[in-house]
Amino acid sequence: MLVKEDISLQQGVLTVKARFLTPALVVRIAGLSLALLVGLAASGTAYGQATDGVRVIDVKYIFDHHPRFRSAMDGLKKDFEETAKRLQEEQQAIIKAEAHLKEYIPGSPDYKRVDEDVSRRKAEWGLAAEKQRKEIRTRESEILWNVYAEIQIAVKEYCASNNVGLVVQFNGDPIDPKMPQAVVSGIARQIVYVAPNRDITPIILDAVIRGVRQPVPTRQVVPLPAGQ
């Protein structure tokens, strides 16, 4: 799951919030679409050469079941939570220090001293929070891209080995008819039907898990009628 951090100052109170995006949103956030991954000419396919049609791939499924991706995201989540805890502790300390202002007369030397100290600590806290936000986003992007690059390589190698010219992304999740949002999303899917022999998701998942960088072994594909 992805970390989406929200660190802000609201009504004089410093807050740190953490939300975790579901894997279903990973592909949308990262803009991971394989609709034209291979283009109209897969690697190794000469211009004008006939190809064996189209294949589909469920990228979300691969992310959901990719052990290195899940491990990396768990590590990112753990690091975020540890940093967030430190920020929260500093937040509470700042709040307590700010509360001491009530003990001094506004404008007095002690009041100015405490007020300046609180202002400085707030500024430093804000810089630390922004630094964490950037680090989280950078690491998140790197993790996403590394997995996406693995998928790209595996798909390209599969297409080159099997003379496939186009790979399109689809969502293979079953639709729960009792969930209105799931039904609406299902109806909006671009692909209505996929023959089992056209789905290369298991092949690509196996390839990226094993770290294959050579042509990926293919499962038996049912021959299609000529011209398809």
Dig out the tokens for 80 from the structure.
Answer: 């975020």
DSSP class of residue 197 equals: G
Q: Are 35 and 169 in contact (CB under 8 A)?
A: yes
With tokens 């030397």, the residue in question is: 109
159, containing H or E segment: helix 109-162
Of the pLDDT bands very low, low, confident and very high (cuts 50, 70, 90), residue 192 is: confident
Q: Which of 24, 37, 34, 50 is nearest to 190 (CA)?
A: 34
Q: Write out pLDDT tens, residues 142-155.
A: 999 999 999 999 99
Report which of residues 136 and 37 the model is more confident about.
136
Dig out the tokens for 221 from the structure.
Answer: 């594909």
Q: How confident is the model at residue 196, as a pLDDT? A: 84
Q: Write out pLDDT tens, residues 161-182.
A: 999 999 999 988 888 888 888 8
Please give the share of the chain, as a percent, with pLDDT higher than 90. Answer: 50
Report which of residues 53 and 52 the model is more confident about.
53
Q: Write out pLDDT tens, residues 61-74.
A: 999 999 999 999 99
CB atoms within 10 A of CB 96: 10
Type of residue found at 146: N
Q: What is the mean pLDDT of residues 26-36?
A: 42
The whole-angstrom separation of Cα 157 and Cα 114 is: 64
